[in-house]
Amino acid sequence: MTANENFDTSLQQKLEEKKSAGTIRTLIHATDKIDFSSNDYFGFAQSSILNQTETNNVPSGGTGSRSITGNSELAESTEQLIANFHNREAGLIFNTGYMANVGLFSCIASKGDTFISDEYIHASIIDGMRLSYANRVRFKHNDLADLEKKLQVATGKKIVSVESIYSMDGDEAPLKAIAMLCKKHEALLIVDEAHATGIYGDRGDGLVCKYGLEREVYASIHTFGKAIGLHGAVVVGSNTLRNYLLNQARSFIFTTALPPHIYLQLQKAYSLLPTADRNELNELISYFRATISRISNISFLDSYSPIQGIMVGDNFKTKMLANHLFDKGFFVRPILSPTVPIGKERIRICLHSFNNKKQIDDFLNETILFIRSYIIQ
């Protein structure tokens, strides 16, 4: 066996381990299924509405990093427009939300400082923190007493990170109380608004704006791949933070800039956010919750956001249910441990303004039939 083949064999062994643990990932096509999975909350990505911008006059590629040839008046004016929209001084656009978090968290703290993050914080923030030399501690999910305990013993600069809406559980962080605790303990607060952007606030500006916490929150991350229907993300905060990040955030510096048409599309998407179909979405969330709570023998997430979940509590059974629903025409994915804690494996459902009540009824009927026949013995 060649060295390459040997190496492949060792990789294959690891894949077999994942297969027998029921955690192997495969790539699938979403074609012609009812979408209960994507993050395209208002259907912006599917509609042609964001393509109706004058993209002919801008280069099709980024041509270089933002620090070299990839910058433009268009990029900077878009950043300012988005920062203004979220009521912040400045913003810096990264190529993805993952890169925004990795860039921000890897460079914002030094040796001796302490990151304190919710235990359910997104992988991109974990990876960013891991790249820094600061200490890392976690507090129990949404648990203010535990957060305060961790704040009391933390050393150096203290940086607390939360998601305003959690991507797996769909629940909301108690942002006002967390902001007060951070103030009391002189800690910075950073809020990832990936799943709140577009959905909350009168204009879809997010939960930090909804609660008027712009002065208490040091920085927020708004991703563009979800309700905005595009790609990329912005870190909003002070001018100083922006200047610091464009000097220090390696995932900003060492990569080709986004293609310029995205800035035109972002301007269009942000102009649509104030009138996006939040009412329709909220009505479907209420309908989903009211319907599922009338069904016995089904356990579901206590979530008031578009992210809902049917708790199954076992990798294999969760996969079985997801496969069945997929075959029946619903695009849903199983969320397995270790992505979520053991025992909390689930079907994750993402509701959109373009879904309808009949789709929800059909989906829940199929789910409960399957659960009663094959999962509850």
Q: Tell me if 96 contacts ligand PLP by CB under 6 A.
A: yes
Residue 334: DSSP 8-state? E
Residues in contact with 118: Cβ distance below 8 Å, sequence separation at least 6, in sequence order: 138, 139, 141, 142, 161, 162, 163, 166, 173
Q: Which of 101, 106, 308, 353 binds ligand PLP (CB under 6 A)?
A: 101
Give the interface size with ligand PLP as a residue count (CB under 6 A): 14
Q: Which amino acid belongs to residue 290?
A: A
Q: Which of 194, 213, 245, 301 binds ligand PLP (CB under 6 A)?
A: 194
Contact characters 108-137, ligand PLP, x per CB under 6 A: --------------x-x-------------
Q: Could you tell me the smallest distance in angstroms from the CB atom of residue 343 to ligand PLP? A: 22
Q: Could you tell me the smallest distance in angstroms from the CB atom of residue 229 to ligand PLP? A: 12
With CB atoms as reference, the residue minimizing the distance to ligand PLP is 97
Query: Of 48-56, 82-90, 191-199, 285-293, which segment contacts ligand PLP by CB under 6 A?
Result: 191-199
Q: Which of 37, 142, 161, 167 binds ligand PLP (CB under 6 A)?
A: 167
Q: Which is nearer to ligand PLP, 82 or 364 (CB)?
A: 82
Query: How far apart are the C-alpha atoms of 367 and 327, rounded to whole Å?
Result: 12
Contact characters 134-163, ligand PLP, x per CB under 6 A: -----------------------------x
Q: Which amino acid belongs to residue 247?
A: N
**CB-based burial of residue 134 (10 Å sphere; 0-12 exposed, 13-18 middle, 19+ buried)?**
buried
Q: Could you tell me the smallest distance in angstroms from the CB atom of residue 64 to ligand PLP? A: 22
Query: How far apart are the C-alpha atoms of 79 and 376, rounded to whole Å?
Result: 51
Query: How far apart are the C-alpha atoms of 36 and 307, rounded to whole Å?
Result: 9
Q: Tell me if 355 contacts ligand PLP by CB under 6 A.
A: no
**Alpha carbon distances (Å) from 219 to 38, 79, 128, 206, 236:** 26, 14, 15, 13, 6
- The sign one gets for the Cα dihedral 248, 242, 69, 262 is positive
Q: Quote the tokens at residue 99.
A: 């890169």
Compute the radius of gyration of the chain from its Cα atoms.
22
Q: Could you tell me the smallest distance in angstroms from the CB atom of residue 290 to ligand PLP? A: 26
Residue 303: DSSP 8-state? -
Contact characters 201-240, ligand PLP, x per CB under 6 A: ----------------------x-x-------x-------
Q: Could you tell me the smallest distance in angstroms from the CB atom of residue 225 to ligand PLP? A: 4
Instruction: For the chain, give percent helix, strand, coil, nearest 5.
Output: 40, 15, 45
Residues near ligand PLP, by CB under 6 A? 96-98, 101, 122, 124, 163, 167, 192, 194-195, 223, 225, 233
